[in-house]
C-alpha cells in the first residue's frame, strides 16, 4: 500500500495516517488490502466485496459520501484480449486506486503516473479532483493507443488479403473481429461512466475542472465511435476476403476455359477421324494426316487472334 497525505505534504507506506474529514489522502493499494481500509473510510462492505471478486464489469455507483467506479483495462496480446479491473473510491477527502493482486505493466504505470502527478496537483484548487482526472486521462490515452494498434493490424491484414487471399487468413480475421467487439463493448460502458462522472451528483468536482471532465467524456464517446468503426472494418475484412477469393477463383476458371477453347477444335477433329467409317477418303490420302494437323493449328491460332483482339487474353 502506497499513498500521499496532501495536507501534510508527505508520502506514506503501509498504515493510513490519522484520517478525518479535513484529510486529503491519495491511496494506491491492491484488492487484498481493502478490508483493512473498510472501517477507516467507512465504505459499504458490498463495494469492497466487489473489488475482491473481480467480475470485469464497468460500473459507476454513488454511495453516501463517496463514488465507487470499476474500470477495465483491456490489453491485446496477439489476437486475444486480456482484461484487468481497476477500482476507484473517490470523495472530497480521499482518492483510493485499487489494483488487482498481480497488475500488468500498464496498471503499474497508471499507479506511478498518479503518484507522479501529485506535486502538480498540489498547485491546483482541488488536488484530489485533479488526480481523479489524471486516472481518466490515462485511461483514455491507453485505449487510444490500443485501438490504433488494432487499426494497424486491420490495415496490414487488408493489404495481405488484397495481394494474395487464402483460406488461412480467416484464422486471423475471426479473432480480430472478437477483439474489436470486446473493445466496442467496453468503451460503450466507459462512455456511460464518463456521463455519470460529469454529472457529479456529490459535487466533489471543482467547477474549474468541469471542462476537463467534459473533455474526458467527449474522448470516451469518440473512442467508442472509433471502436465501432474498427468492428465494422473487421467485418469488412470478411467481405474483402470473399470478394478477392471469388475474383481469384474466377481468374482461374477463365484460364481453364481458355485452355479448353484451344484444345476443343483439335479434340473435335481427332474425334471425327477416330470414328473410322469406311467412306472416309482422308484416311487413305497421303496428305490426310499433315492436313489434319495444319487445320488443328490454324483453328487454334484463329481462336487466339480473336480472343486477343477482343482483349479477353
pLDDT digits (tens, 9 = 90+) for 111-152: 999 999 999 999 988 999 999 999 999 999 999 999 999 999
Question: Would you say how long the chain is, in residues?
Answer: 313
Tens of pLDDT, residues 154-204: 888 888 777 776 766 766 788 888 899 999 999 999 999 988 998 888 888
Neighbours of 284 (CB within 10 A): 7
* 313: pLDDT strictly greater than 90: no
- Residue 55 grid coordinates: 467480475
Quote the CA–CA distance of 130 and 218 in Å, as a whole number: 18
In terms of Cα–Cα distance, which of 211, 220, 189 is closest to 57?
A: 189
Structure confidence by residue, pLDDT tens digits, 17-73: 888 888 899 999 988 888 888 888 888 888 888 777 666 688 899 998 899 999 999
Domains of the chain, start order: 2-246 (1.20.58.340), 247-309 (1.20.58.340)
Alpha carbon dihedral 88, 53, 72, 190, in 10-degree steps, equals -70
- Do 300 and 307 touch, CB atoms closer than 8 A? no
Q: Where on the phi/psi map is residue 9: left (φ > 0), alpha (ψ -120 to 50), or beta?
A: left
Closest CA to 209 of 127, 298, 300, 109: 127
Contacts 24+ apart (CB under 8 A), 65-70: 65/91, 65/202, 66/41, 66/90, 66/91, 66/94, 66/202, 67/91, 67/197, 67/202, 67/204, 68/43, 68/44, 69/193, 69/197
Q: Which residues pair with 76 in a beta bridge?
A: 81
Q: What is the pLDDT of residues 224-252, one digit of tens each?
A: 999 999 999 888 887 776 666 665 666 67
Give the cell for residue 248: 481469384
Amino acid at each position: 500500500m502506497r499513498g500521499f497525505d496532501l495536507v501534510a505534504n508527505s508520502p506514506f507506506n503501509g498504515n493510513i495516517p490519522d484520517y478525518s474529514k479535513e484529510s486529503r489522502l491519495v491511496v494506491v493499494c491492491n484488492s487484498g488490502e481493502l478490508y483493512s481500509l473498510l472501517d477507516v473510510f467507512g465504505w459499504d462492505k458490498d463495494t469492497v466485496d466487489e473489488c475482491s471478486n473481480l467480475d470485469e464489469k464497468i460500473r459507476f455507483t454513488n454511495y453516501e459520501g463517496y463514488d465507487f467506479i470499476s474500470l477495465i483495462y483491456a490489453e491485446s496480446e496477439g489476437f486475444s484480449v486480456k482484461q484487468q479491473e481497476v477500482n476507484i473510491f473517490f470523495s472530497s477527502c480521499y482518492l483510493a486506486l485499487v489494483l488487482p493482486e498481480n497488475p500488468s505493466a500498464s496498471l503499474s504505470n497508471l499507479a506511478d503516473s498518479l503518484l507522479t502527478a501529485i506535486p502538480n496537483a498540489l498547485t491546483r484548487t482541488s488536488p484530489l479532483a485533479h488526480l481523479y482526472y489524471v486516472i481518466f486521462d490515462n485511461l483514455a490515452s491507453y485505449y487510444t493507443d490500443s485501438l490504433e494498434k488494432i487499426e494497424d493490424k486491420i490495415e496490414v491484414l487488408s493489404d495481405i488479403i488484397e495481394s494474395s487471399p487464402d483460406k488461412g487468413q480467416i484464422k486471423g480475421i475471426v479473432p480480430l473481429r472478437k477483439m474489436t467487439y470486446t473493445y466496442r463493448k467496453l468503451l460503450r460502458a466507459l462512455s456511460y461512466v464518463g456521463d455519470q462522472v460529469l454529472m457529479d451528483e456529490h459535487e466533489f468536482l471543482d467547477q474549474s475542472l468541469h471542462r476537463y471532465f467534459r473533455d474526458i467524456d467527449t474522448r470516451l464517446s469518440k473512442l467508442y465511435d472509433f471502436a465501432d468503426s474498427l468492428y465494422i472494418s473487421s467485418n469488412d475484412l470478411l467481405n474483402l476476403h470473399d470478394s478477392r477469393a471469388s475474383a481469384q477463383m474466377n481468374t482461374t476458371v477463365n484460364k481453364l476455359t481458355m485452355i479448353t477453347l484451344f484444345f476443343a477444335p483439335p479434340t473435335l477433329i481427332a474425334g471425327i477421324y477416330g470414328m473410322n467409317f469406311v467412306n472416309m477418303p482422308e484416311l487413305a490420302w497421303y496428305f490426310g494426316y499433315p492436313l489434319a494437323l495444319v487445320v488443328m493449328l490454324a483453328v487454334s491460332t484463329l481462336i487466339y487472334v480473336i480472343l486477343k483482339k477482343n482483349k479477353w487474353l
